[in-house]
Amino acid sequence: MERLAGALERVNSLIGSILCWAALAMLLLQFVIVLLRYVFGYSYIFLDEGVLYLHASLFMLGAGYTFLVNAHVRVDIFYAKCTGRTQAWIDLFGHLFLLTPALVLLIWFSWPYVRGSWAIMEGPISVGGIPASFLLKTLIPAYCVLLLIQGIAAFIRDIVKLKRTEA
């Protein structure tokens, strides 16, 4: 079971390491935009949209990695004071009854929207922008899948933790 969890976690780990470079690319692109606009007097909508696409990708695809490294927002007024076993039970409940249904519903309701966008190869958000809005919309189910993968890995880790504390 732990090997399966490790394999699932490697997916988000790989995506997280790729997104580190995307963050750098976004920073450099924003620098180029500012330089072009305020030094040379040029402005390109597709460059501005490039920052938007990178920013959206960082947040949507990085959610699974954030969950992996336990850097997500957590309101743990009571959770922090619980034993490891109780925390595992709370996490199992959260993964099974909160995270999974929410992500499945999001996939379910966003899929027609994404499919329609791909069917017409939806163009740019603004005139002169990146002609690939369908890719931006694809981030919604990708976000859900990556979080589900990490949720399954965390679920497995919690089951292993419970079995270890039993023995």
H, E, C per residue of 102-165: HHHHHHHHHHHHHHHHHHCCCCCCCCCCCCCHHHHHHHHHHHHHHHHHHHHHHHHHHHHHHHHH
Question: Is the overall model pTM greater than 0.85, yes or no?
Answer: yes
Other beta carbons within 10 Å of 116:
12
Where do runs of H (alpha helix) occur along 42-99? 45-68, 84-94
Q: How confident is the model at residue 142 (pLDDT cuts 50, 70, 90)?
A: very high
pLDDT tens profile 62-100: 999 999 998 888 777 888 888 989 999 999 999 999 999
Q: How confident is the model at residue 112 (pLDDT cuts 50, 70, 90)?
A: very high
Q: How confident is the model at residue 166 (pLDDT cuts 50, 70, 90)?
A: confident
pLDDT tens profile 6-22: 999 999 999 999 999 99
Closest listed residue to residue 148, CA positions, set 12, 7, 6 = 12
Place of tokens 């589900």: 148
Residues above pLDDT 90, as percent of the chain: 87
pLDDT at 165: 83
